[in-house]
Structure 1
């Protein structure tokens, strides 16, 4: 099961109270926040934006490999995780957009929007797309760090 969570390093910035966040496996994702709570929110957003840039550039998502005592796991927002899951399932299926549209009984223009990393897509449409690709969306809840 893909969770789209990556290890992040939280370090003090040059300004007091500022926390700088970087991701060893996703070098494009770097941000900062005022205090730890803000840094975590900014990290989630930066990670999501960086990961969505990979399919937009025709590149596969990086594999989460980094581990260490100084690293904390950060997951993307649920809507970003669903979008990434749809895009990865579509690429893995090796089918055309028109074939996915046929399977979903939707217009191909709608499928193009669903697969567009920059287009906000409602959750039911992504669930339908995953179902048409032989996948299902599983939602979990865990304590916030």
Structure 2
């Protein structure tokens, strides 16, 4: 399981001069912007959708490859990163939703909502579930690139 959901983006200029951003670790999807900065803002939204779609399809999230000078790291929104961590921990634990619901003393429908990337879940709730699955949340704050 990845311990980060920050992914490197490849940025190229197209024939119209727009900046096109893609995430090679996912192998699909692209976005663009008139400026590099605008393209990277759009890339954050794209990364959120790539992660959410992967979760909805029941697939494993790819390990993030290395960032570099020409491959800046894009940080997804906090909520989707937490959902991704919970999803990966749940998949790795090999337990049923029913089992996890019993462990957390909640309804099974609550587990489905927690694993749904479109449903907003409180951070404390995700943290509690991750701890039950043997994981913990840590926070790192860095400078804006």
Distance, in Å, in 2 between the alignment partners of 1:143 and 1:29 is: 27
Identify the structure with the greater strand proportion. Answer: 1
1:72 matched residue in structure 2: 72
Distance, in Å, in 2 between the alignment partners of 1:68 and 1:116 is: 32
- CA offsets, 1:13-66, max 9 Å, x none? 3444x3211111122231112322222211111011112211211211112235
Count of aligned pairs between the two proteins: 144
Secondary structure in 1 matching 2:46: helix
| TM-score (ref. length: structure 2) | 0.89
> Map of 1:37-116 to 2, 5 A cutoff?
37-65=37-65, 68-116=68-116
Following superposition, the deviation at residue 68 of structure 1 comes to 4.8
Following superposition, the deviation at residue 98 of structure 1 comes to 1.2
Question: Structure 1 unaligned runs (5+)?
Answer: none
Secondary structure in 2 matching 1:25: coil
Secondary structure in 2 matching 1:32: strand
2:123 matched residue in structure 1: 123
Question: Structure 2 unaligned runs (5+)?
Answer: none
The Cα RMSD (Å) is 1.8
